Structure 1
Amino acid sequence: MIRRLAVGSVIVARHRSEALAAWVAAGRRDDLTGWAAALGPVVRLVGLAIVAYSALALLRAMPWIMWLLTAWWLRSAWRAAAPAEDAEEEDADEEEQPTAADPAEAAVALLRQVLAGRRAVHLSTVLAHLQEQGQGEAWTVADLRARLEALGIPTDPKVKVGRVPTRGVRAADLDRHFPTETPAPSPTQVDAA
């Protein structure tokens, strides 16, 4: 539960900060040049500073509001780090597809499919594979990493594929943490009769 809240908090914080950064950047005007074009983002930053100062003053005047904000944050974090099977239950279209009993097993199966016998794979490749299948369309590589780590799947920050080092998953780490179960060979019986 604590791991899910921690991962969800990272996801919520990233989404909120990216949304605010995009909103500030959208203030730039393309029809102007020079300082006039950059005036929109500056005005938006000043507006954000005023809102932040006002919120801080309000919280100092009424500290009980912090309980409401904490409840909202925990709820958002819990929902953001929901396992894939919880998200599938909400979609009526997803009911037709069979779901794995354990989300970690489903993620490991997906990673083994994307690895396809290679020694390692970048998380960006895994995310592209997911998005081709219509899943995780709004995710970033950091979101995928947080979800994998929440499931106990190890990621490595320096995986080299094609001489490009970036975060990814190694097949050896998957085998170490999630060994594949190979059925034992059945004993052959020899009749003496």
Structure 2
Amino acid sequence: MSRLARHADRIATGSAAVTRRLAVRAAAWIRRGRRTDLTGWRAALGCWLRLSLLALGLYLLWRLVRAVPNLLWLLSAGWLLAAWRAGRPTPTPADEDAPAAPNTDAVRALLLEAMGDADAVHLRTVLAHLQEQGHGQDWTVGDLRARLEALGIPVQLKVKAPGSKGPTRGVRRADLLASQPIGEDAPTGPSTAV
């Protein structure tokens, strides 16, 4: 890969990460507008108000850029800088000794460890487990899902795990063990591999 292609890839990766972070933060901010002391449509009025404020802010930004087109250069430079920073590979001290690709067996062991005695585990539970061990501090559930799918570990859309309020993305024990090569035993020991 040429140097220019590496830089373009870093900006594209970082731009996707910045977009994801902004969307997650905006959605969380809108969600916090829900009132718990009310029920029905009245409880959601705060969410609608915050969504309207966000739309108004975007509209005003668009109008400002239309009125002062040179502002777009400043906004573009800011976005490129944020994307460049977010797209930076984050080396860890273990990277010098670690293989280029994650060990699928170690990831399976980590998933089984996070699963415990249950038949399934939600990705947010796995992410919390990883972050407790000091890994993936800036990851989202989407980042974890992409990494698991890249390793060939099946992620299901609606998984019901014990102690959860409802189904969400997760990994089932049966799928995890079925995706293992034939003749190999399931990893059982704890793992710190990411």
Shorter-chain TM band: 0.5 to 0.7
* TM-score, structure 1 as length reference: 0.59
Where 2:48 maps in the other structure, the secondary structure is helix
Q: 1:44 aligns with which of 24, 32, 50?
A: 50
Aligned to 1:100: 95
Aligned to 1:139: 139
Q: 2:106 aligns with which of 97, 108, 113?
A: 113
| Separation in 1, partners of 2:82, 2:180 | 33
| Separation in 1, partners of 2:41, 2:152 | 43
- CA displacement 1:42-66 (0-9 Å, x = unmatched): 1111111211111111111111111
Identical-residue share of aligned pairs (%) = 45
The answer to whether 1:26 aligns with 2:32 is yes
Where 1:108 maps in the other structure, the secondary structure is coil
CA spacing shift, 1:22–1:8, aligned 2, 3 Å: same
- CA displacement 1:115-174 (0-9 Å, x = unmatched): 46xxxxx9949746632421223422322466x59xxx9444846863448xxxx888xx
Whichever residue aligns with residue 79 of structure 1, its letter is R
Where 1:84 maps in the other structure, the secondary structure is coil
Q: Assess if the C-alpha contact under 8 Å between 1:30 and 1:37 holds in 2.
A: yes
Give unpaired runs (5+ residues) of structure 2. 1-6, 110-120, 156-170, 182-194
Whichever residue aligns with residue 62 of structure 1, its letter is V
Q: Assess if the C-alpha contact under 8 Å between 1:127 and 1:136 holds in 2.
A: yes
Aligned to 1:162: 173
* TM-score, structure 2 as length reference: 0.59
Aligned residues, how many?
A: 147
- CA displacement 1:64-90 (0-9 Å, x = unmatched): 1111111111221222222122xx5xx
Where 2:102 maps in the other structure, the secondary structure is helix
Give unpaired runs (5+ residues) of structure 1. 89-97, 117-121, 173-193
Where 2:83 maps in the other structure, the secondary structure is helix
Question: Alpha-carbon deviation of 1:17?
Answer: 0.6
Question: Alpha-carbon deviation of 1:12?
Answer: 0.9
| Separation in 2, partners of 1:80, 1:102 | 24
Structure having the higher Rg = 1
CA spacing shift, 1:112–1:3, aligned 2, 3 Å: farther
Q: Assess if the C-alpha contact under 8 Å between 1:27 and 1:40 holds in 2.
A: yes
- CA displacement 1:17-37 (0-9 Å, x = unmatched): 111111111111111222221
